[in-house]
């Protein structure tokens, strides 16, 4: 995308044109912070944290913000959502403090941590956005939206319990042998194209692997072939005794 844009700018008469080829992934890998636009903060399904002291928060904060003063952030780790892909946005009048908060949340392995594109709630109100006075919410509530084709962890566990929905484990046979969900059938992803006839076409089926990567590939393949299918996008580990763990990634 960017080389093409640079080509257009060059053609239109801009002489000093450069491309940051490595792009957003390299920027984040380099430990640099990123920002979200005000409109995204207002409308997105995000976790919004106001880092200011309670008095400043009470004077005016962004409506859906949760108040966690910067100096208490380290000890508030347990309040944050299970899903490491949850978008977390911090804001404060103090830019240094905000940048430090981004580093803290990234060290907890959250992948999408940003700052509001301009500092603080005062700026927010100046731009004509709504603000609320009084104390901000104290608890973080975040419900991740499911991706297309994704089954929620609770629905997946219900399917395991009732055993009425076929569950297909697309991991390798060796992984399956080391422990699997009770009732799951093993058709590894590499065998899937050849073994489509073993999957009922008139029934809703669920596929899973250990991270959701192979599961999603299997889902896309089956969907294209006309199957009624969903996949588990989560981490999971099955033990030989039938016990298991499933966690949000």
249 binds another protein (CB under 8 A): no
Q: Under rule CB under 8 A, how many of the chain's residues touch another protein? A: 59
Instruction: Give the nearest distance from C-beta 161 to another protein in angstroms.
Output: 28
Structure-block tokens of residue 234: 């989560």
Q: Which residues of 85-104 are buried (b: 16+ CB within 10 A; e: fewer)?
A: ebbbbbbbebeebbebbbeb
User: Is the CB of 134 or the CB of 193 nearer to another protein?
Assistant: 193
Q: In whole angstroms, what is the distance from residue 6 CA to residue 45 CA?
A: 32
16 binds another protein (CB under 8 A): yes
The binder of another protein chosen from 49, 70, 160, 170 (CB under 8 A): 170
The SS3 assignment for 61 reads strand
Q: x/- contact string, 44-83, with another protein (CB under 8 A)?
A: x---------------------------------------
The binder of another protein chosen from 3, 134, 148, 226 (CB under 8 A): 3
185 binds another protein (CB under 8 A): no
248 binds another protein (CB under 8 A): no
Within 8 A by CB and 6+ apart from 125, the residues are 60, 131
214 binds another protein (CB under 8 A): yes
Q: In whole angstroms, what is the distance from residue 82 CA to residue 90 CA?
A: 18
10 binds another protein (CB under 8 A): yes
The binder of another protein chosen from 36, 52, 83, 98 (CB under 8 A): 36
Segment contacting another protein (CB under 8 A): 35-43, 76-84, 135-143, 150-158? 35-43
Q: In whole angstroms, what is the distance from residue 195 CA to residue 45 CA?
A: 39
Within 8 A by CB and 6+ apart from 134, the residues are 58
User: Is the CB of 87 or the CB of 120 nearer to another protein?
Assistant: 87
Q: In whole angstroms, what is the distance from residue 20 CA to residue 9 CA?
A: 14
1 binds another protein (CB under 8 A): yes
230 binds another protein (CB under 8 A): no
The binder of another protein chosen from 58, 84, 165, 213 (CB under 8 A): 213
Q: What radius of gyration, in Å, describes the C-alpha atoms of the chain?
A: 23
For residue 80, the Cα-to-chain-centroid distance in whole angstroms is 13
- CA distances in angstroms from 98 to 11, 40, 77, 135, 149, listed in the order given: 40, 18, 16, 20, 36
Contact 216, 234 (CB under 8 A): no
How many other C-beta atoms are found inside a 10 Å radius of the C-beta of residue 61? 26
Q: x/- contact string, 122-141, with another protein (CB under 8 A)?
A: --------------------
Structure-block tokens of residue 142: 């975040």
- Contact positions toward another protein, by CB under 8 A? 1-10, 12-27, 30, 32-37, 39-40, 44, 87, 112, 114-115, 117, 170-172, 175, 188-190, 193-194, 196, 209, 213-214, 216-217, 220-221, 224
């Amino acid at each position: 995308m960017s080389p093409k844009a640079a080509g257009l700018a060059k053609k239109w008469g801009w002489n000093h044109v450069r491309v940051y080829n490595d792009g957003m992934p390299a920027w984040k890998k380099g430990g640099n912070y990123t920002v979200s636009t005000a409109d995204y903060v207002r409308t997105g399904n995000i976790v919004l944290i106001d880092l200011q002291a309670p008095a400043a928060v009470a004077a005016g904060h962004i409506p859906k913000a949760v108040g966690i003063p910067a100096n208490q952030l380290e000890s508030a780790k347990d309040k944050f959502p299970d899903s490491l892909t949850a978008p977390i946005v911090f804001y404060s009048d103090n830019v240094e403090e905000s940048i430090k908060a981004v580093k803290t949340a990234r060290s907890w392995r959250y992948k999408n941590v940003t700052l509001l594109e301009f500092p603080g709630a005062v700026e927010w109100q100046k731009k004509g956005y709504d603000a609320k006075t009084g104390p901000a919410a104290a608890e973080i509530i975040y419900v991740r939206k499911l991706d297309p084709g994704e089954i929620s962890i609770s629905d997946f566990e219900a399917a395991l319990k009732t055993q009425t929905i076929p569950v297909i484990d697309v991991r390798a046979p060796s992984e399956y042998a080391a422990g699997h969900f009770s009732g799951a059938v093993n058709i590894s992803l590499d065998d899937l194209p050849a073994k489509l006839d073993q999957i009922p076409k008139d029934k809703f089926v669920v596929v899973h692997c250990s991270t959701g990567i192979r599961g999603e590939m299997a889902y896309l393949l089956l969907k294209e072939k006309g199957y009624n299918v969903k996949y588990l996008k989560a981490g999971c580990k099955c033990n030989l005794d039938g016990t298991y763990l499933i966690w949000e990634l």
